Chain A
Amino acid sequence: MLSAFGTGLGVAALATVATMVLLGRSHRWGARRSTAPQRVPFLGGFEPETHAWSRYHLRYYPMTLLFIAFEMEMMFMYPWAVVYVQEGVKALAEMGMFLSILSVGVVYGYREGVFRWQ
């Protein structure tokens, strides 16, 4: 028991030392670092005039919302299908409520133009 623990401790110590050495020396051993001109984004010969950190339009965002609306529906419908026969009308009503809530999301997506290909 003790010897197994000792082995584990030894491996952990060895791994720690190896990691420390690799981390410490990676700067020297690693591939040559990129130079300042190489870190500049390539625009065809000129340098960028503004910093690249900017907000942009995430065009797929409404599409992801729509995906989540349909995906949550399916997540609930699988277990629902298993118990539907036992539960009967009660389960049907519950699913109707759930779907009507989710369809609000789909209607919202429709208003945002998700279904319009641009």
Chain B
Amino acid sequence: MNKKGRHVVLVKNLKFVRSSIGVKYQKKAQSEVGNSTKAEQFINDLKKHTSKMNDVIFKKIPTSESVVTVIYSSSLVDKITMQLMIFIPLANHLNQIHQVAEVIKTTDVNGISSKLISGQTLLYFHQSNLLLSIDTYSAPTRSITNTETESTVIGPQDAFTESLETNISLVKRRIQNPMLKNEERTIGKETNTKISILYIDNIVNHENLERLRSRIDHIDYPAYFDISVLKQLIEDNPLSPFPQYYMTVRPDTVSYYLLDGRMVVFMDNSQDALVCPTSFLEMFISIEDYYNRWTTASLLRMLRFFGFFLTIMITPMYISALTFHPEILPYELLLNLQESRSKVPFPPLFEVLFIELIIEVLREAGSRMPAKVGQTIGIVGGIVIGTAAVEAGLISNILVVLVATSALLSFLPPIFLMSNTSRFVRYIFILSAGLFGLFGQMLAFAWLITHLLRLNSLGTPFMTPVIPRKASDLMDSIVRFPIANLKEKMGISRSQKK
């Protein structure tokens, strides 16, 4: 690959060979040489410019029209594409190249190098000092696989990959509608990442669209590795622990939201798609709810929604009941608890914090560990430590049940970011329960409600079901009514079509 193939330039014009004989021909030859020196100059400049980039390849190819130097970046272009698009037409039908390619000014050095590093092939015609470029970007990408983080039992299983074009194609094949627009931008001074904003023109609210566009255009951040970086920059309340935009890797979810009048942002090399605006309830909705029947869907949604509140209330309840209000518990349970707690030397607050931290460690280590080691450590951590800790008297066994249940419940929301948030919020509740018992818990709950009420998602209030903008919103909130009744768009998108 790093062969710097230097073809000997075959002089087409034999006159040049005979120039040593006749001066008459020398001038013509000189002009040709002049031409070729200008070309050589250009090529040398370019080579200097791309000096340390070992994968930029210069190939000089004689064609029927003139000598052509083919310049391309071999890490971004694959060999078969080169053959098909460049070398074969170069050899046989040169007009094809002229028809397909784009003309670039030879003086625009920056433009030339940016085209090179984005995977385009440059064709420099020595005779006519003509620079053409053809898009041959064909870097290897991952094939479309199942989603691992947002899987469903039924429904389509494909997920987005890191290639922007594949992702857009996954969406476009689901919504075959001429109104589906996508605008492209390049952001990030140092990485020059491409993003795409998709929306359906006759449904979306243009005010929202304008807001999104102006936000993206106004940020000034050098490097983007993933779309979550972009997300945190265009959020309304970046200080809040709650995510305000919906991130998903499933094309069916994205198409559902597009048809509902939202906007979706894709980023190249990023698997997730960003949906905005969104509301708090939607964090608990999974697209599978629409594939299930309405009874199952309603049941599961209620489970997820109340599970969120349960998971932040269970362990703090334990603390406040044991430390401050023992009269809440029925007598027999209380005796049981007293017995199991008699062996524990710590107050309930520290006990709970201790075991919560152990579970956090297990969770975090489990996600970072290599798969081969992960299984064993998981079993050791979960079962052995838990049982041994109870036997050693470090924690009470009732607490293990409670903490395990709340840990399971915290994984219910389909968005991973939301589960992380519930973990964080749970610590706040634990601390406030440890301070003031049930009163502290209710204070924390009131704080949570107020905080959620003040959040905005792209200008629209985050907790929209507080006052439903439209009565039909309620048909698709915690309880989902049969699909035949769900024809209207959600109020939050303020769409043009109802």
Does A pair with B?
A: no
